[in-house]
Structures are given as structure tokens and as C-alpha cells.
Structure 1
Amino acid sequence: MAARTGIFGALTREHREQLMSLAREVSFATDERIFNEGGKADRFWIIHTGTVTLDVRVPGRRAAVIESLGAGDLLGWSWLVPPRHWHMGAQAASPVRAYEFEAAAIRELCGKDPELDHALLTYVVGVIADRLRSARVRLLDLYAPHGAGEVP
């Protein structure tokens, strides 16, 4: 059996089953907007197939694509952090199938199970750190003077 990666690799079998009991399968067409920066973050997804791009608004310019996500990746972490508004936007770059989770139901489940809460928070914090790193590097590539992003 193949090793589990992403959020499924971070959770025990019991916690995966609890999480998946609240999942609903959804799909998005190529170029479909999934959410917009600043909108209400009341759900999240685990991508099953396809590619989603994350972007940020840049005043006076087109939105800057920060990262591409694929199978096994978590789409959306803003549902966890008050005031629960999207920090980036997301768009399907190809046909996407995903598992969708209502954030309130997951927060309620975590409130009843401190081990699941800890495992999920630990995983999501890692995702946030990776996304911030990617955003910084991508924005430096796009907008900083040549060489400004180099670390001494």
C-alpha cells in the first residue's frame, strides 16, 4: 500500500475516518473561481485530482499567481483563523475533483477531540508556513529589483 501524504499522512486512521465522514465530493471546471481574497472562509477542500492556483491581488495589476496545488493538497486554511476571510484567491487551472468540508463542522469535531485538534492545527500551521514562503519568493521574483530576494 502506498504511503499517505498530505493531511491524510498527518492523521491517524481514526481521525481520517472522522474527517472523511464529514466530506462531500465536489468538482470545479477549468478556470472556475473557487474563492476570492477577502471573502468569507467557511469551508476547505482536499484536492483529489486536478490543479488549483492560488493568487493575491496586486493594486493596479492582474492578480499574481503564488502557488499551484494538486492531488492531496489542502486548499484553504483561512477558515481556521478569525476573522475567517480568505487571505488569497483560488481558481481551478484544470478540471478539479475535491473533498469539501464545512469549517464549522470540523471545528466542532476538533472541540470534542483534542488529539484531532492538535494534529489538524499542526498540519495547517505547516501549510501556512509553506504558503507564506512561496508567496514571498514568488512576489520577489515578480516585483523586486533583480537580486533583491537573495539571502546573504
Structure 2
Amino acid sequence: MPQTLEPLLRGHKFFAGLDRADLALLVQCASNAVFPADSFLFREGDQAQTFYLIRDGKVALEITAPGRGALVVQTLGEGDVAGFSWLIEPHRWEFDGRAIDRVRAVRIDGACLRRKCEDDPRLGYELMRRFAGLTAERLQATRLQLLDVYGHAHDR
């Protein structure tokens, strides 16, 4: 008998406190994903139709700086969520997400989940609240990275 992804979603800190009915809706949009080291989960500018719950491995969120190459904004690991661009139009990735080592994740289909949120505004609000917090964390990480990159310019 095939196992459901419900226990993985229920055990993930991002979905802590979500009721069973909501988790059952999320499971309908979920699948397993594996990425080898140095492969991309997503690329900046591409269509964003998914997000990932990292089960194990590390993902570097990167931006490309002209003349400097890829800059790591944040490194994600077990228990983290990679991706929120699926939620906000125009649904394009703002970062590259590169597997540093082998990554196992739960892939959530964003288009599927958006439809469920449209049908259930309460669920939509709850997820929007959670993803707003995630967005604020990423913004803070980007700010700190910029301070690190540009804050020492006078030392050169």
C-alpha cells in the first residue's frame, strides 16, 4: 500500500498547527523530489509553479551579480522551505536555488495549491500569513548579504 506524504507535511515546522483537513488538501498537491549535488531546483526568471520542503541536504539561494558571479543570499537545509514565488504574480523565480549536495524534498505544486486557496479563502489566508513571514526572513537575509558585500568596500 503506497504511503501518503501527510506525515511529512504534518511533521514540518512550516505547517505546524495546520488542521488535518488542510493537510489533506496540501497532500493532494505534493510529490517527492530528489536533486543531485550542483543541480538547480529553480532558476531566476523561470516560471515558478512549485515550492519545496527540504527533507535533507542543503540548497543555496543565489543571485547573480554582474562581474562577481553567483552570490549566496541564504543556505537552506532540513526543515526549511525553498520558494515563495509560486504565490505572487507574475510567478517567476527571484533567485536560483542550487543543490549544494544531494537534496531530498517534498515538492508542492503551486498552481494546484492556488486553486485550493481560491476555493477555501481561510486556507489561503493561513498560507499567505506563513509565506509572508518566510518572505520577510529572505528579505532580511538579502539585506545582511548586501551589508556584507558592500559594507567592507572602504576596506579594499
The bucket for the TM-score relative to the shorter chain is 0.7 to 0.9
Find out whether 1:50 has 2:49 as its counterpart: no
Tell me the TM-score normalised to structure 2 length: 0.86
Q: Which whole-Å CA distance do the structure 1 matches of 2:50 and 2:33 have between them?
A: 12
Q: Which whole-Å CA distance do the structure 1 matches of 2:19 and 2:63 have between them?
A: 34
In structure 1, the partner of 2:18 is 11
Offset at residue 116 of structure 1 (A): 1.0
Q: Which whole-Å CA distance do the structure 1 matches of 2:128 and 2:65 have between them?
A: 29
Residue 46 and residue 5 in structure 1: after superposition, are their counterparts in 2 closer, same or farther (change >3 A)? closer
SS at match of 2:152: coil
Offset at residue 143 of structure 1 (A): 2.4
In structure 2, the partner of 1:150 is none
Offset at residue 97 of structure 1 (A): 0.7
Mapping of 1:116-135 within 5 angstroms? 116-135=123-142
Offset at residue 10 of structure 1 (A): 5.0
Aligned partner of 1:106 among 113, 130, 149:
113
Q: Greater shift after overlay, 75-84 or 5-14? A: 5-14
SS at match of 1:72: coil
Q: Greater shift after overlay, 53-62 or 14-23? A: 14-23
Offset at residue 13 of structure 1 (A): 2.6
Aligned residues between the structures: 145
Find out whether 1:90 has 2:118 as its counterpart: no
Aligned partner of 2:66 among 59, 62, 75:
59
Q: Which whole-Å CA distance do the structure 1 matches of 2:24 and 2:55 have between them?
A: 16
Aligned-residue Cα RMSD (Å) equals: 1.8
Residue identity (%)? 35
SS at match of 2:86: helix
Partner amino acid, structure 2, of 1:69: L
Question: Deviations along 1:86-140, whole A, 9 cap, x unmatched?
Answer: 1111101111111112211000011111221111000000000000000110121
Residue 5 and residue 56 in structure 1: after superposition, are their counterparts in 2 closer, same or farther (change >3 A)? same
- Gaps of at least 5 residues in structure 1 are 148-152
In structure 2, the partner of 1:38 is 45
Partner amino acid, structure 2, of 1:89: D
Offset at residue 5 of structure 1 (A): 5.0
